[in-house]
């Protein structure tokens, strides 16, 4: 199993590790990974791993077997042998943009309280698709409420519940297209706010900022019709 360092500390940028496997096409698995593997609409991290006498640029991370994180080499990069001690460094600038965008999308699902049919994150830009037959009437108002939540600088924390507890509380799941991972006995929840200030609680395996104030101002870039019942709302971080 791979220790998921990105989950215990999403702000960590560099860490030692040991190579536990190398695939035929040069993909590398480490015993502990700072790299978030692509999933849940969030891109996989890129960066590099370095060792005595060598370095491999990591194009992106994807999910391997079980809990393994597979680091895919950039074109022309060669992996180290199994057992090599390495230092892994993520592309922090891109990761942090993804963290800010991801947390902002959770808040977007608060100000637009409709079922979510899809989503995607890109650095500094993201979108949610909603079960929304008619277009929203007050985009400036939605944008203002979203920025007001961000400005409250709410704490973003994690919690865990059992698979059975999630099954007993189906309202926690906002996404219609992607089911939260179950079958391992427990499910991770992301909570925004606490106590009477809690505004959101939903299953999520991605990386997030520690407080909503880190997101900064958000603009609603556009709304697109995607099918008979779906509307796509695109947001963008502002400089």
Q: What confidence score (pLDDT) does residue 184 get?
A: 67
Give the confidence band of 180 by pLDDT, cuts at 50, 70, 90: low
Q: Which residue bears the tokens 């592309």?
A: 91
Q: Compute CA 88 distance to the chain's CA centroid, rounded to the nearest angstrom.
A: 19
Q: Worst-scoring range by mean pLDDT, 87-96, 154-163, 173-182, 184-193?
A: 173-182
Average pLDDT of every residue of the chain: 93
Nearest to 72 by CA among 36, 25, 106, 104: 25
Q: Where are the domains of the chain?
A: 3-90, 95-237
Q: Which helix (H) or strand (E) holds 141?
A: helix 139-151
Comparing 3-90 with 95-237, is the CATH topology the same?
no
Predicted local distance difference test score (pLDDT) of residue 225: 94
Which of 191, 199, 170, 194 is closest to 182 using CA atoms? 170
CATH 2.40.30.130 holds for 3-90: yes
Per residue in 191-202, pLDDT (tens digit) is: 999 999 999 999
Cα separations (Å) of 195 from 113, 188, 211?
Answer: 20, 18, 15
Specify the pTM: 0.93
CATH label, 95-237, candidates 2.70.98.10, 3.40.50.970, 3.30.390.50, 3.30.980.10: 3.30.980.10
pLDDT band per the 50, 70, 90 thresholds, residue 63: very high
Q: What is the mean pLDDT of residues 151-174?
A: 86
With b for 16 or more beta-carbon neighbours within 10 A and e for fewer, the 84-109 pattern comes to bebebbbbeebbbbbbbbbbbbbbbb
For residue range 104-134, what is the model confidence (pLDDT) as tens digits? 999 999 999 999 999 999 999 999 999 999 9
Residue-wise pLDDT for 98-108, tens only, equals 999 999 999 99
pLDDT-derived band at 76 (thresholds 50, 70, 90) equals very high
Q: How far apart are CA 207 and CA 185, in angstroms?
A: 21
Percent of the chain with pLDDT over 90: 81
């Amino acid at each position: 199993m791979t220790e998921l360092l990105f989950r215990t500390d999403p702000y960590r940028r560099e860490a030692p590790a040991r190579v536990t496997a190398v695939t035929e096409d040069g993909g590398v698995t480490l015993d502990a990974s700072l790299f978030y593997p692509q999933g849940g609409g969030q891109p996989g991290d890129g960066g590099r791993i370095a060792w005595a006498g060598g370095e491999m640029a990591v194009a992106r991370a994807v999910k391997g077997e079980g809990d393994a994180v597979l680091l895919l080499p950039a074109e022309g990069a060669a992996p180290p042998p199994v057992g090599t001690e390495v230092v892994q460094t993520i592309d922090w600038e891109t990761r942090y943009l993804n963290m800010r965008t991801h947390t902002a999308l959770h808040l977007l699902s608060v100000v637009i309280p409709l079922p979510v049919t899809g989503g995607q994150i890109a650095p500094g830009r993201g979108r949610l698709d909603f079960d929304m037959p008619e277009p929203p009437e007050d985009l400036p108002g939605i944008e203002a409420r979203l920025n007001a939540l961000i400005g409250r600088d709410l704490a973003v924390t994690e919690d865990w519940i059992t698979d059975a507890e999630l099954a007993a509380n189906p309202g926690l799941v906002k996404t219609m297209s992607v089911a939260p991972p179950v079958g391992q006995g427990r499910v991770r929840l992301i909570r925004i706010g606490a106590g009477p200030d809690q505004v959101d609680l939903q299953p999520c395996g991605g990386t997030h900022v520690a407080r909503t104030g880190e997101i900064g101002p958000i603009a609603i870039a556009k709304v697109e019709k995607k099918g008979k019942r779906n509307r796509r709302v695109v947001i963008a971080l502002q400089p």
